[in-house]
Copies of this chain bind each other. A is one copy, B any other.
Amino acid sequence: MPTSRSIATTIILAASLLSAHADEGMWTFDNFPAEAVEKAYGFRPDQRWLDHLRLSSLRIAEGCSAAFVSPRGLVQTNHHCARACIQQLSTSAKNLIADGFYAREASDEVRCPDIELNQLIDIRDVTDRISKATAGKDGEAFSKALNAERAVIARECSGNDDNVRCDVVALYNGGTYNLYKYRRYQDVRLVFAPEQAIASFGGDPDNFEFPRYYLDLAFLRVYRGGNPLDSSANYLRYAAADAKVGDLTFSSGHPWASNRLETVADLEVQRDVSMARLIFFQAELRGVLTEFSARGVEEARIAADSLDELENYLKGNKGRFSALADTSIIRDRAAAELALRAKIDADPALRAQYGEVWDNIRRLRERFRGTWNRAAYAAGLGFKSELFGFAKTLVRYAAEASKPDEARLRDYTEAAFPSLRQSLLSTAPVYPQLEKLTLSFALTKLREVLGPDDPFVRKVLGRKSPAEVAADLIDGTGLASVELRRRLLEGGQKEIEASSDPMIVLLRAIDPDLRAVQKDFDENIWTPLTKNLALLAQAKFKVYGTSTYPDATTTLRISYGAVAGYQKNGKPVEPMTTIDGLFGRATGSSPFKLPASWIAARPLLNPQQPVNFVTTNDGVGGNSGSPVVNRSGEVVGLWFDNNWEGLGGRFGYDGSVNRSIAVNVGFIREALTKVYRAERLVRELAN
C-alpha cells in the first residue's frame, strides 16, 4: 500500500511497469508476436511452423496439455495429467500409481475411462455476432442473450458431429469472442507411466520448487475405430539433443487462468477471499485425507489421486497467496492503476467512458466478497463427492434437455453433451468410503461457513449431522452403477422424477437453490464485473496503445523464452539438474525414495544427463503436459510446473524469477531405454 510519501514515486515508477517484459506473454496462435521473437532471438516462426505446432498440440478436456509425438497417435503428457486414469485402472491387487505401467505390446494398451483429448483445428472471430446479440442488454437479459448466441454458434460449428467440439471463448474479459473448433478424441489408452516415486520424486516438498528431479511423464495413444490414429500429418519429433543454456524455446499449451489485467480491488479479493478461504478448506481436507491414508495400504491407494491433486492445488494456492501477500505485485498494480486513472481523468472523453470503471469493480468485488461462501459452496465445495456430481448432472441434464438448446445452461448444450456423457458413463471406480469421507467433510464446512441456522443448510442436513447425511446418501444411492446412470440419462425427466434414489431425491430438492445462487452470482456480479474489466482493457489500449495477449482461459497459447537460471535469496540457481544430483538427493525415505528400477539401473545411467530445466517461457497451471520445442519445432522438453516465484505468474510476469520447469527430452530417452527397456516406445519416438 503506497503511503502519502511514496505516491509520487510510485506514479513515476508506474510507467516502466506497464511496458512489456521480454519473453512475457501467453499468446493466442492467431496473434503471435513473431517480430519480437525475431528481434530478441533471431528466429521468426512462420505460419506453417505455427500451424504445425498448434495442430500437434492437444488439450486434455479435464484441464491439461499434451502433444502428438509419433505418426501413430502417440501422445506425450505429464504423469500428473494422466494420474486419474492411472489410478482408475489400478485395483487393490495392482497399483499402477506405485508400480508404473508399460504396455510392452500394442495390445496391452488400456483405455482410460475418462480422458478426452481435443485438437484445435480452427480459430474464428465471432465478436460481431455476440455484440449484435447482446447489444443494449444487461443483467439476466444479457446473460441469456450471450448464452443463446454462444449455443447457436457452437451448434452451427459442430453440425451435431460428436467428433467435433466448438467453444465460443471470451478473450480480454469479453472484449473479443472467438470460436475455437476442436477435433475430439475419446478413445484414449494408457501406454506408459513410470512409478509415482520418480514421476514426482521429492513429492509435495519439491512441488513448485527448483532444483527439481521429476520424470513427470506419461504416454497415451489416441485410437479411432479400434486402431491407433494416423497422426502423421501433425506430430512433434523428439530432438536428438537437449536444449542448452540460452537456447530459444517455445511451449504450446492451455494455461487455465491468469489475472494480469485485473485491478487492485480484484487482487485484494483474491488474496483475502478466493485464495485464503480456498486454502483454509483445502488445508483441512488435506489433513483429513493424509490421516485417512495412514490407516492402511488400501486406504492410501483409494485416496492417492484425490490427495495428490489436492496437494498440488493447495501448494499452488499457497504460492499464489504468497505472491499477493508477500511480494510487490499489489503495490505495483496500485501504482500502475493510479497512473492510468490520472490519464483517464485528465481527458474528459476518456473520463466519461472509463472514469467509473475502478469504483464499479471495487463495488462489485465487495459484493463478491460477501457472497463468495454461498456461491463457492453451492458450486461444489460444499458437496465433494463423485456420486453427488453424477446426480447433479443427471438432474440438470434431464431438466435442460427439454429446453431449446440456446436456452440451456452452458454446460448442458448439445455441444457439451459428448463430454458430459463420457463422464457420466465412465467406468472409473467410485470408493464409497472415500466418498463418505469427503462428502461429510464438505457438508461440515458448508455448515461452518453458512452457519447451522441457514435455511439451505437446514434443507440439506435436516436434524442430522454431516456425517450421518453423508453416510445415508452414499450408502443409499445406486449411482455407483454405470447402468443406473445410463438409465437415468436416457430416461430423461420422467425417469428422474420417478427415482427414489436418495442422491437424486436430494438433488431434486436442492437444485433450484443451487441454480438460484449461480444465477444471482452470474447476473449480478460476474457479468457486470467482466463488462467492467473489458472496459478497462479498452481503456488501457486507448491510453498505452500496446498490443497484448488476453488473460489465460484454458485455450491454446504459445509462449517463448530461453533456458536460463535465476537468483534466489542472493544465490544463483542453475537452470539444469542432473541424474547425479537425483541420486544424491535420494534418502531412502518417501518422498525422496527412488523406485527399485532406478536403483537397479543406476550403473547404466549417464550421471551428467540433465533431468529438468527451467526457461523464461511464460506459463501457468494448465500448461502441464505442454510440449517444449526448439526452433526446429522438435521436442526438447515436457512442461510440468512453475517454480515457486512463477506461481505469481497468475497475476503478473517477472522475467527475472518466473520460470517454467520441464523434463529434458534426453532424460526421457535415458529412462525409457535404460530403466524401463521400453524398446517399442523408443523406436516409435525415433520416427
Please tell me if A268 contacts chain B, counting CB pairs below 8 Å: yes
Please tell me if A276 contacts chain B, counting CB pairs below 8 Å: yes
Question: Are B285's CB and A204's CB within 8 A?
Answer: no
Please tell me if A3 contacts chain B, counting CB pairs below 8 Å: yes
Main secondary structure of the interface of A (DSSP, over half): helix
Q: Which of A68-76, A163-171, A318-326, A501-509 contacts the other chain?
A: A318-326
Question: Are B452's CB and A338's CB within 8 A?
Answer: no
Contact partners of A295 in chain B: CB under 8 A: 295
Question: Are B325's CB and A4's CB within 8 A?
Answer: no
Give the complex CA separation of A273 and B321 in angstroms. Answer: 10
Whole-angstrom distance from the CB of A578 to the nearest CB of chain B?
16
Q: Which of A232-240, A376-384, A485-493, A586-594 contacts the other chain?
A: A586-594
**Chain A 306-330 interface 0/1 with B at a Cβ cutoff of 8 Å (1 = within):** 0000000000001001000110000
Give the complex CA separation of A209 and B448 in angstroms. Answer: 11
Please tell me if A292 contacts chain B, counting CB pairs below 8 Å: yes
Contact partners of A451 in chain B: CB under 8 A: 205, 209
- The residues in A between 626 and 679 inclusive whose CB is less than 8 angstroms from any CB of B are none
Known: A287-B291, A447-B205. A325 touches B280 (CB 8 A): no
Question: Are A276's CB and B325's CB within 8 A?
Answer: yes
Give the complex CA separation of A273 and B276 in angstroms. Answer: 12
Question: Are B268's CB and A3's CB within 8 A?
Answer: no
Question: Are A358's CB and B205's CB within 8 A?
Answer: no
Please tell me if A297 contacts chain B, counting CB pairs below 8 Å: no
Closest to A465 in B: B589
Whole-angstrom distance from the CB of A446 to the nearest CB of chain B?
11
Please tell me if A468 contacts chain B, counting CB pairs below 8 Å: yes
Pick the contact of A587 from B338, B441, B463 — CB < 8 Å? B463
Contact partners of A468 in chain B: CB under 8 A: 589
Contact partners of A592 in chain B: CB under 8 A: 452
**Chain A 248-271 interface 0/1 with B at a Cβ cutoff of 8 Å (1 = within):** 000000000000000010001001
Contact partners of A447 in chain B: CB under 8 A: 205
Question: Are B1's CB and A1's CB within 8 A?
Answer: yes
Give the interface of A toward B (CB within 8 A): 1, 3-4, 7, 202, 204-206, 209, 264, 268, 271-273, 276, 279-281, 283-292, 295, 318, 321, 325-326, 334, 338, 341-342, 358, 369, 437, 441, 447-448, 451-452, 463-465, 468, 587-590, 592
A-B contact pairs, 28 of them (CB 8 A): A1-B264, A4-B341, A204-B448, A205-B451, A209-B451, A271-B272, A273-B325, A273-B326, A276-B276, A276-B321, A276-B325, A279-B280, A279-B283, A280-B280, A280-B283, A281-B283, A283-B283, A283-B284, A284-B287, A285-B287, A287-B288, A287-B290, A287-B291, A288-B288, A290-B291, A291-B292, A463-B587, A464-B587
